[in-house]
């Protein structure tokens, strides 16, 4: 079960699971400082408890407890190389134990919030299209060019999973936007294929039959018969 803890300076809430909540409310020291009711949202985005104490010898000392780090150190195993704590889903207020993990500085660097104007890690807009790029072994690798930022981010996610497994940065892409982008891409490919087929197909010769010209009616030449000239009478002379 998830427990939502209200933050004193924000409308957002921190989330912990049963194990975490029980620890926060039953541990003698944590219960004594009333950590559950005194959490704030830190400028880094995580939930934090802070208080300043006056020292007997003079001066003041500030105590800071980061919720995600507190729970990870209590319930997760830590190695020397992996000494930073991060949220698997990128939400620093989601402090459920299953969402927390220790990681190295290089992994934390990969998973930090993107500064890309396209809104996704490894995605950069060039003219009207989007380029997907990922860093691996000190080299920048070109993944491809895409019509939408969502397609480029999806391509980055696949390559990140291939290179880094669970420690790679995964862009959070709205399902509806990604589905629409993929559908548009398929339609574009199909339109291009249809266009190529149309160009490659041999053109059929269309010979229009000439209409036979209407036959001219034979006009009979009427020749008026010449009137026979009257025969001259020949008279024989008498001897």
> Distance of alpha carbon 161 from its chain centroid, rounded?
16
44/96 same-domain check: yes
Q: Which of 52, 87, 103 is the last residue of a domain?
A: 103
Q: Is residue 171 part of a domain?
A: yes
96/116 same-domain check: no
Cα–Cα dist 88/91, whole Å? 8
N-term to C-term CA, the chain: 167
User: At CB < 8 A and 24+ separation, what contacts does 104-110 make?
Assistant: 107/82, 107/164, 107/167, 108/84, 110/135, 110/160, 110/164, 110/167, 110/168, 110/169
12/44 same-domain check: yes
pLDDT tens digits, one per residue of 25-59: 999 999 999 999 999 999 989 999 999 988 888 88
9/71 same-domain check: yes
- Better-scored residue on pLDDT, 112 or 117: 117
> Domain limits at 42?
1-103
Mean pLDDT, residues 2-6 taken together: 95
Q: Supply the CATH number for residue 117's domain.
A: 3.30.730.10
pLDDT band at 158 (very low <50, low <70, confident <90, very high): very high
Q: What is the DSSP letter of 203?
A: P
96/118 same-domain check: no
């Amino acid at each position: 079960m998830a427990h939502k803890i209200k933050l004193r300076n924000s409308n957002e809430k921190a989330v912990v699971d049963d194990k975490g909540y029980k620890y926060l409310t039953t541990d003698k020291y944590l219960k004594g400082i009333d950590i559950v009711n005194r959490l704030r949202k830190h400028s880094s985005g995580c939930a934090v408890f802070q208080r300043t104490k006056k020292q007997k010898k003079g001066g003041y000392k500030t105590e800071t407890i980061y919720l995600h780090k507190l729970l990870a150190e209590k319930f997760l195993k830590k190695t020397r190389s992996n000494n930073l704590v991060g949220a698997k889903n990128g939400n620093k207020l989601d402090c459920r134990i299953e969402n927390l993990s220790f990681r190295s500085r290089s992994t934390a660097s990969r998973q930090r919030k993107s500064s890309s104007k396209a809104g996704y890690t490894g995605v950069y807009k060039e003219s009207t299209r989007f380029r997907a790029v990922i860093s691996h072994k000190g080299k920048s690798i070109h993944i491809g060019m895409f019509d939408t930022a969502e397609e480029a981010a999806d391509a980055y996610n696949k390559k990140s999973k291939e290179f880094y497994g669970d420690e790679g940065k995964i862009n959070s892409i709205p399902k509806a936007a990604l589905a629409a982008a993929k559908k548009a891409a398929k339609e574009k490919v199909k339109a291009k294929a249809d266009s190529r087929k149309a160009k490659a197909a041999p053109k059929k010769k269309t010979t229009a039959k000439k209409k036979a010209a209407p036959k001219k009616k034979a006009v009979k030449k009427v020749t008026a018969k010449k009137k026979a000239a009257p025969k001259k009478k020949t008279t024989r002379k008498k001897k």
